[in-house]
Structures are given as structure tokens and as C-alpha cells.
Amino acid sequence: MPIQYLTADAVRAAEHATGDLLANGTLMRRAAAGVARVVLGELTGTGGCYGRAVGLVIGAGNNGGDALYAGAILARRGVRCSAVLLAPDTTHSGGLAAFRGAGGRITGALPDTVDLVIDAVVGIGGTGPLRPAAAAVFAGVTVPIVAVDLPSGIDADTGVVHDRSVRAAITVTFGAYRNLHLLAAPRCGRIVLVDIGMAPTDTPDGLFSLTDAEVAARWPVPGPADDKYTQGVVGIVAGSQRYPGAAILASGAAVSATSGMTRFVGSAAEAVVSHYPEVVAVDDLADAGKVQAWAVGPGMGTGDRALDILRTVLAGDLPVLVDADGLTVIARDPDLVRGRTAPTLLTPHAGEFARLSGAAVGADRPAAVRALAADLGVTVLLKGRITLVATPAGRVYGNDAGSSWAATAGAGDVLTGIAGSLLAAGLEPEIAGACAARVHALAALRASGGAPIGASALLAAVRPVIGNLRTAHGGADGHITTG
């Protein structure tokens, strides 16, 4: 099953659905025990628990209560716990009593020397940046921070990271992941999910991500009865004779991603074949031959010829991916794709997205990508460190790249080739986009090794990354099938 991320309202609904577990404080006790386990694990891993010092920064309400109960557990284990109360009049009374009863101290500031700090300033109901008093407390913190539910100063639903916010080494959350755990993953650090007995429900307009095991299981590989045609034939339209780079990268990525067949159309045909002789390359669309999907746009230009090609390809009933220059053409005439019934995947970066939608992406990226997908009636993949893929029905798949090494010229052309080949193999556009984004990100990490890369290095890492994924998740014998 994909990993699910919930809005604040969905979290509250799931909590209330537990009935007595919420009412009698069981959920809070389980959450506190989870926070304490994580903190004890961190302290144990760096020299033991007894006599170590932990600071707690406590806000109002239940988030602070989770931390205070956790602090009571830590204090009973011999940890010296000091809490700064940012809202003394609205501090959780039960948690505060337990904390004090276990020997925890209330202080006006964090001690000069602590081994770790617990951030419990705001929970999922908080919005906006840290208030000045809270920001001042965290300003001098140099030790690891464990955030309760979310790093304070980050919006739970949109993942907006405000100027005054916490950067956590670890975030401990409860029952289900929140949207920000994907959308603001770099600020959350390692995310630990604690089971507290809460059962969220799947919704068609939810936010999800595929696990590596799911990507491996869905990746198309040849079966005993397959040939080059049954595995998917993708047609690539990209680049030009003068600028062949996009053509070479997109075609090479398609060749690397699946075992079917790659056809190329364009004036860069000779350059493509010189790099990848297995590609069947022609100059004109009329000579392309049969394909199962098209990937169109990178470096193809935005003039009349590009418009004619797009009209022809989109008028058919095959899956089509449109990127780069192709998106510029569509932005001038959205009716080229609006209402198209065949699978259609658009893959804009933020600037192309603004041209397509008429407005910048804005702070709420999931809402923006959902709106464009619904308006055009197509699947939209919004590129970025956190890539989002939205269906017209509102379901969104996200992928945290884990780095920004793929922010290099030509990397988008590689993504086009990977995703286009998956469309040709029969994957639904949102799954093709999500799987392609994951492999693309892992390839960038593998190619980089901590140093800047170009798109050619990223492309060279695509095939080994797919092999590693499949080997790690049970696919080495070739029995995994598309689905």
C-alpha cells in the first residue's frame, strides 16, 4: 500500500473515531511513550541516559501535553529534564503535573548545557512562523532537536516553511503521517511514526507516496511470452539537429528504463542513433511506425512544426507525455489537451506550471497541482525537490528526492524518457509519473556521491538503480509483472 499523508482535519477525524481511546487519554499516553522511546534511543546511542540533560520547549494544548508526559518518563529514567513554558496559562495541566511529579524542572530558559531539545511549541493546528519568544528560545540551540508531531513554524497541510521555524533532527508523529512530512521533509529530519491505535481512511483526494518496494513491484520487466512489441514501444519527439542533447537524453532514458522498443522522430535522428543504435529513428512523424505511447516536447521548439506534431499526437487515442517546449505550446492553446480521454501526462517545472495555469504555484503546492489537473482533465507532474503528481480526480502522489542533485540542465529530459517508456508499458499516468520520479531521484543520488553531476551521469545511473530496486525487493528472478 502507498504511504498516506493526512491533512490536519483528517487527523482530527481519525482521532475522534477512536472514541474512548481519545477521551480517556490513551492516545496521549501512547504518543508520550513513543516520544520518550525515541529520545531514550538517541541518548543511549550517544553515551547512555542517566544524568543526561534534555530541554523541553512547551506550547499550549495537547502537543505540549505529549511532550510533558514524555518528559516525566525520561525523568523517571534518570534524565535531567527542564521545560520552558511559552504559554503558562494554557499549558496542559495533566502533563505538567506528571512532569513536576517525576522531578522535572520548570525554567525561564533552556539550560546552558543540554544533550537534546524537544520541540512541542505547536501541533497540527498551528500556522505561521514561530512567535518571537519561541524563536528566541531556539536561536541558541545547537544540539539535535526532536519535534513532537511537526517542527514548529511549518504549516501542517501545505508544508510551508516559514522564516522562523524549527529544523528537526527527528520528528515523532502519531498514527499517520501528516502532509508536511512529505512536503517539508528536509526540515523534518528522520520521521518516526508511532502506532497509537488510530486508523485513517483512504480518500480519493489524498496525498500519497509509493514505497521503493511498490516501485520495484510495478516496474515492467519481460515475461516468458514477451517480445519487444508487447513490452511497450515508446515514441520520442525531442531536440533538433542543431541542439540534439534533449533528443539523446530522452531517448537514452527510454532505452534504459524498459526492455521494449524506442522510436525517435526528429531532425536529431542521426545523433540519437550514433549514441543508441537500438533506437529506430526517423525525421518525420508520418514515418514513425506504431507506438504504444508518445513522449513529446523537450527541445522540439515552439513554432508551427511543433504545434502540428502536438495536434497530430494528441488527436490520437494513445497515452501522451508532454514536457518542456511542448508545454509552452499547450499554454498558448490549452484545448489541445483539455477534455482528452486518452491518458495524458504533463510534466512542468514551476515556471512552465505558471504558464499553463496563469498563476504561480504558490504556497499550497498540492492544491495548485490538483486545480490544474482538474481544469485540464489530465495528470500533472509538478517537478521539484518534492515532486507531486496529481490526477484529475484529485489524488496526489509525491516523491521526496532526498537531494537537489537533479537540478541540472537536461535532467528533465531524462525524466521524460523514463516516464514515457512506462506509459508505453501500460502504467497509468500517475503511477508512471510517480515511479519515474522515484527512480530519477535515486539515480541522481547514486550518480552524485555528494558532488555535482550533469544529466549524462544521471542517465548512466538509471539502469543500475532499477536493478538495485528490483533485487532489494524480490525482483531478481524476473517474475515481477506490471500492475
Residue list for the binding site for (6S)-NADPHX: 246, 299, 349, 413
Q: Binding site for AMP: residue ranges?
A: 383-387, 412
Task: Report residue 35 as a C-alpha cell.
Answer: 516520544
The phi, psi pair for 420, rounded to 5°, reads -60, -40
Contacts of 229 by beta carbon, 8 Å cutoff, 6+ apart = 260, 261
Q: Is 374 exposed, middle or buried (0-12, 13-18, 19+ CB in 10 A)?
A: middle
Q: Are 146 and 172 in contact (CB under 8 A)?
A: yes
Q: Are 152 and 121 in contact (CB under 8 A)?
A: yes
**Per-residue exposure over 126-150, b if at least 16 CB sit within 10 Å of its own CB, e if not:** beebbbeebbebbeebeeebbbbbb
Based on its alpha-carbon atoms, the radius of gyration of the chain, rounded to whole angstroms, reads 25
Q: Is the dihedral of CA 410, 415, 417, 418 positive or negative?
A: positive
Residue 84: CA count within 13 A, CB half-sphere: 21
CA 69 to chain centre: 32
Task: Report residue 386 as a C-alpha cell.
Answer: 518534492
Residue among 251, 245, 440 nearest 347 (CA): 440
- Strand-by-strand arrangement of the 116-120 sheet: 105-106, 80-85, 53-58, 116-120, 145-148, 170-174, 190-194
Q: Are 2 and 202 in contact (CB under 8 A)?
A: no
Contacts of 261 by beta carbon, 8 Å cutoff, 6+ apart = 228, 229, 231, 232, 233, 234, 280
Q: What three-state secondary structure class fits 321?
A: strand
Q: Binding site: residue ranges?
A: 246, 299, 349, 383-387, 412-413
Helix or strand (DSSP H, E) at 313: helix 304-315
Instruction: Give residue 468's identity as a one-letter amino acid code.
Output: N
Q: Are 271 and 241 in contact (CB under 8 A)?
A: yes
Neighbouring C-beta atoms of residue 443, cutoff 10 Å: 29
Alpha-carbon distances, residue 319 vs 281, 332, 424 (angstroms): 20, 21, 7
Measured CA to CA, the distance from residue 136 to residue 138 in angstroms comes to 6
Alpha-carbon distances, residue 307 vs 314, 439, 457 (angstroms): 10, 31, 32
Measured CA to CA, the distance from residue 331 to residue 52 in angstroms comes to 59
Measured CA to CA, the distance from residue 415 to residue 364 in angstroms comes to 24
Measured CA to CA, the distance from residue 262 to residue 237 in angstroms comes to 11
